[in-house]
Each structure stands twice: as C-alpha cells, then as structure tokens.
Amino acid sequence: MAKILVTGAGGMLGGAIVDELRKYGHEVAGLDRRKGEADIAWHVGDMTDRALVNAAAAGQNAIIHVAALPNIWSGTGEELIRINVVGTWQVLDAAEQAGVRRVVICSSDSVVGYTVREGAMLPPLYLPVDESHPRRATDPYGLSKVLNEDTGRSFALRGKIEVVALRPVFVAYEAMYGELRARAADPDNYTPRMAGGPSGAGGGMAWHYVEPRDAARAFRLALDVKVDGFEEFFLSANNTLAPEATLERLERILGYLPEVRNRELYENNPYAPLYDLTKAREQLGFEAKIDLRSVLDLDKDS
C-alpha cells in the first residue's frame, strides 16, 4: 500500500483514478477546488495555492497530477498557460521538496498538434505517431501540455524525482455516449451537445477515445513502471469511433496520406488509431480493454 495524492480528484477522470487506486488498497488523498464523492482525505482549493499544494504533498509516496483546465474551450489562452503550467510546476516542486519519488502527470495527445481545429492543426509527419514524433502544438491548451512535459523532464534531470507523462486521447465518459451516437449517426450535421451531453463529442479528426476505467488503470500502472528519469506514453483504445477506416479517412481529409511506417497495423485493424501504442503496451504494460465501437454498436449498418 502506498500513500498517493491525486490532484483533480473531484473531476471525472480524477474520480476514476481514485476508485482504481483504492481498489488496489492504496491510501488516497485528493486535491481539488471541490470535494468529490470519495471518502478520502481532501485538500480543497486551487493548485496554484502553493501552501495548499505543499500541505497536500507532505508525506505522500507518489502524486498523480490530473488537475488542469481540461481543453481549449475551458479558459482564455492566458488562463490555460497560467493555471496549467504554473500549477504543474508547483506540484512538481512541492513533490521534490517533500521527497516524493514518483509523479505521474496527465499530458494529452494535443501535444502532437492534430486534435482541434481552433489550433490551426498540423497533420502528422508519419503514421502511426509514436512518442518520438515532434510535438507541434499550436493552441494554448496543447502548448500548456508541451510545457508541462518539458517541466517534468526538467525536474527529472535534477535526479530527485521520476516523472511519467501520460498522453490520453479524448476520455469518453458514459455521459458522452449520447453525443458519440449522435455524431456517428449524422457526422455532417452533428453539432456539440445536440444529444444533451456535457460537451461535444471529441477525439480529433480520427475520433480517438479511451474509456475512463482504462485510463485510470494506466495511471495506476504508471506508478510502478521502470523509467530512466522521464518517460511519456500515448493512451488510446485500440480503435477509433470514426465511420471510415483510419487511412482512408485521413487521406480524404488531408488530400494526401502521410508516410505510413507500419502499414500492417492498418491492414490488420482498419480502425486503428493514429497513435503507436507499442510503447504503452510493452513498457507500461497497458492495453485498453474496453471497445466502445462495439459497446455503441457503431458497425451495425456496415
């Protein structure tokens, strides 16, 4: 059993992570602006409050840092950079000062730069996109995640803490199922929240997703994975929710197809994601178990 602080524990992803950790017997504390439902120790306030973060980090064996403005629409550019980047720096600095050895930070596939139109998206240079692909974020949210990864790497280079950055794609909560079905039923006329969901269906141009219980398992695994200071991993389901095969869809949207370095992947699984999940599978020991394409019955008419 370990003592683990989860920032953003009151949110949907944070709550799923808390449940996963408690299931495995860990002693969990949460830091968030509001208490969540879990019966754990809570530190209530903003992650930019250094005194609060110091108090929350004290005595912890590890920290899972999820708290953030969660997307490009959740704040102004200035707010996204200030809260996400300064907040992450403070969590890492507090962890180092408290003697916390492992910090897992929630990054995003947005670091690649091909997720939301508002960011003047840049297409992938090659497929599948692995962790060595250049990070080319063009929107404030994606930029905040690039800076957070660099902050984590900087702290790891100091030698006192180990940092794992997980890059989940769109986390598809059950509350979003109506939106996902509505988009799949009429992609050309779909508009955000038309099915009454909390937000619009996400996942970028390829409609990527990861189910929250799968994502939570990856965060738990990241607590123990062997790393040399700093490592990053993409987190995604093994397929997309798009109506077209992945390569066909990308070629239609772009008017060309980037270099495909592993064509066999898409021959064996036409709906495979744009991201290379090999590192997560082989090093982190993570592979998504929940197939929402099947759960949502998206292939019933194919």
For the annotated catalytic residues, the residue numbers are 141
The DSSP bridge pattern shows strands 259-260 and 126-127 to be parallel
Distance CA 70, CA 188 (A): 26
3-state SS class at 232: strand
Partners of residue 210 on adjacent β-strands: 171
Q: Count Cβ atoms within 10 A of the Cβ of residue 244 and give its class: 0-12 exposed, 13-18 middle, 19 or more buried.
A: middle
Is residue 183 within 8 Å of 242, Cβ to Cβ? no
Dihedral sign from CA coordinates of 253, 255, 259, 264: positive
3-state SS class at 168: strand
**Which H or E run includes 104?**
strand 102-106
Phi, psi of 156 (to 5 degrees): -65, -35
DSSP string, 243-269: SS-HHHHHHHHHSS--EES-HHHHHH-
- Output the CA–CA distances (angstroms, integers) from residue 229 to 101, 134, 302, in the order listed: 10, 20, 46
Phi, psi of 21 (to 5 degrees): -65, -40
3-state SS class at 34: coil
Phi, psi of 106 (to 5 degrees): -90, 105
